[in-house]
Structure 1
Amino acid sequence: MGTPISMSSFEFLEKLKQNNFREWMQENKKEYLANEKDLKSFYSEVLAGLNVTDEIAKMKVYRINRDIRFSKDKTPYNTHRSVSFSRAGAHRRGGYYLRLEPGNSMMAGGFFGPNPADLLRIRKEFEMDASEIREILNNSEFQEAFNGFSQDYAVKTAPKGFSKDDPNIDLIRLKSYFVVHKFSDTEVFSEDFKEKLISYYLLLRPFFDYMSDVLTTDLNGVSLLND
């Protein structure tokens, strides 16, 4: 089954939420490091699981230290732990994400804040023909797991150069294309959490394969990659 998430990691994050200052962290650094070691072991097992059916170029464990330079919130530490897995090669697009937080754990995957060229290419594809992406989104397993793209990042009406009356404006107006599935603490602590997590990542593959094809071709379907 693999290494389950330890309750102690969430207990530490709960305490950190109540004591979010550097002195407390220094006093409890040993506990923090022990939990980090266990979490990184779990992340590595997830990485191995993803590599069975995909090819991952990089695993990024996000720092617990917050970037407070431009934030009104000056608390120094994140009260969640997160990791992402980047796919290998220019022909493989999309990324996997995991956030562990008491009462707010989730996995996500897709295209968060794509660069302007990629965003325009995606929107143009949907303007021309959105039947394939809708088929993916309407797949019963995909829909049950994710319930469509996150709607948190979108323009109010229509992006410049697109009609607000376009039949696919619900897709075109989005600025990111990713999906989310939330987990209860009970699920996170279960023995089969890693298997459940990877099963949700696997559901993303038709979406990733489609978007990879879109982002590596022009509107005529001609490859943009060098042979």
Structure 2
Amino acid sequence: MSFKKLYAFLEELNKNNNKEWMDEHREHYHDVRDFYIDWLNTMNIELAKIDPDYFDTPGKKAINRINNNLMFHPNKPVYKDHFGAGLDQRSKQGDFYIHIGISENFIGGGYWHPSSKLLKSIRAAIDYNGEDFKKIINKKSFKNMFGELMEDNPLKTSPKGYSQDHKHIDLLRKKSFAVGVNLTRQEIMSPDFSDRVIEVYKELLPFRRYLNEAVTV
């Protein structure tokens, strides 16, 4: 099994996105899923060697369901067009996310659409020591890898409790604090993909540590 075969399965599923086809190809699905879980288990071990605060996340816990939640999104297809997984996962938010799919391939981390409680904590941290956060996101190697924070329709005014002329108002207006690096299929299918994942993890660590500390204080 390989990432090439994983893509081949996703392409077929995308053409036949229904329960009947999945039931007929359930064994193939489990072969692909087991391959991805095994790879995630390897990465789980390797990343734990890098980060003393790493939260052990076996592949079966890391991998997301391939079914779309039709209760909340009834217009979506039955199945996703990707395999997603979150390593270093104390919770669903703030993990180290790997997305391998037909239309998108990326690695990212941070807080995308955090709850109002978590967002309030992040803003409080930025109010207290936003200079430290800006040093992280403005570091040359960080900029080269991730560019800017992902945009998420920021507030047009200041959030409650903060003035319009706050020195970090550009950050305080944000509703999400996440970054990612896009990848090609060729990069994912290459022999050094795992090395690339480790490289991204290392660069992302200070960013994730700042945010994780902000929401736990």
Same fold (TM over 0.5): yes
- Matches of 2:206 and 2:85, distance apart in 1: 22
Given that residues 154 and 173 in structure 2 are in contact (C-alpha distance below 8 angstroms), is that contact kept between their aligned partners in structure 1?
A: yes
Given that residues 146 and 179 in structure 1 are in contact (C-alpha distance below 8 angstroms), is that contact kept between their aligned partners in structure 2?
A: yes
Given that residues 62 and 89 in structure 2 are in contact (C-alpha distance below 8 angstroms), is that contact kept between their aligned partners in structure 1?
A: no
| Structure 1 unaligned residues grouped into runs of 5+ | 218-227
Offset at 1:88? Answer: 5.6
**Structure 1 pair 5–103 and aligned structure 2 pair: CA distance change class (3 A):** farther
| Structure 2 unaligned residues grouped into runs of 5+ | none
Q: Between Structure 1 and Structure 2, which shows a larger proportion of helix residues? A: 2
Which stretch has the larger CA shift, 8-17 or 52-61?
A: 52-61
Q: Where do 1:110-129 residues align within 5 Å?
A: 110-129=110-129
Offset at 1:9? Answer: 0.7
Partner of residue 70, structure 1 = 72
Question: How does the TM-score come out when normalised to structure 2?
Answer: 0.87
Partner of residue 224, structure 1 = none
Partner of residue 14, structure 2 = 17
Offset at 1:216? Answer: 4.4
- Matches of 1:75 and 1:109, distance apart in 2: 26
Partner of residue 165, structure 2 = 165
**Structure 1 pair 185–74 and aligned structure 2 pair: CA distance change class (3 A):** closer
Query: Is 1:53 the equivalent of 2:55?
Result: no
- Matches of 1:214 and 1:101, distance apart in 2: 31
Which stretch has the larger CA shift, 139-148 or 70-79?
A: 70-79
- Matches of 2:121 and 2:11, distance apart in 1: 42
Offset at 1:36? Answer: 0.9
- Matches of 1:126 and 1:53, distance apart in 2: 27
Larger RCO, structure (CA 8 Å, separation 6 or more): 1
Partner of residue 36, structure 1 = 33
Partner of residue 196, structure 1 = 196
Query: Is 1:6 the equivalent of 2:3?
Result: yes
Which stretch has the larger CA shift, 162-171 or 138-147?
A: 162-171
Given that residues 84 and 97 in structure 1 are in contact (C-alpha distance below 8 angstroms), is that contact kept between their aligned partners in structure 2?
A: yes
Partner residue of 1:80 out of 79, 82, 85 = 82
Residues 102-155 of structure 1 show CA distances to partners (whole Å, capped at 9, x for unaligned) of 241111111233343332222123234421111111111111111121112533
**Structure 1 pair 132–108 and aligned structure 2 pair: CA distance change class (3 A):** same
- Matches of 2:148 and 2:80, distance apart in 1: 28
Query: Is 1:207 the equivalent of 2:202?
Result: no
Report the number of matched residues.
211
- The one-letter code matched in structure 1 to 2:6 is S
- Matches of 2:185 and 2:206, distance apart in 1: 28
Residues 69-116 of structure 1 show CA distances to partners (whole Å, capped at 9, x for unaligned) of 122414211110011023569xxx942110101241111111233343
The CA RMSD over aligned residues, in Å, is 2.2
**Structure 1 pair 129–76 and aligned structure 2 pair: CA distance change class (3 A):** same
Given that residues 40 and 62 in structure 2 are in contact (C-alpha distance below 8 angstroms), is that contact kept between their aligned partners in structure 1?
A: no
Residues 145-184 of structure 1 show CA distances to partners (whole Å, capped at 9, x for unaligned) of 1112111253333222223333322211112211111100
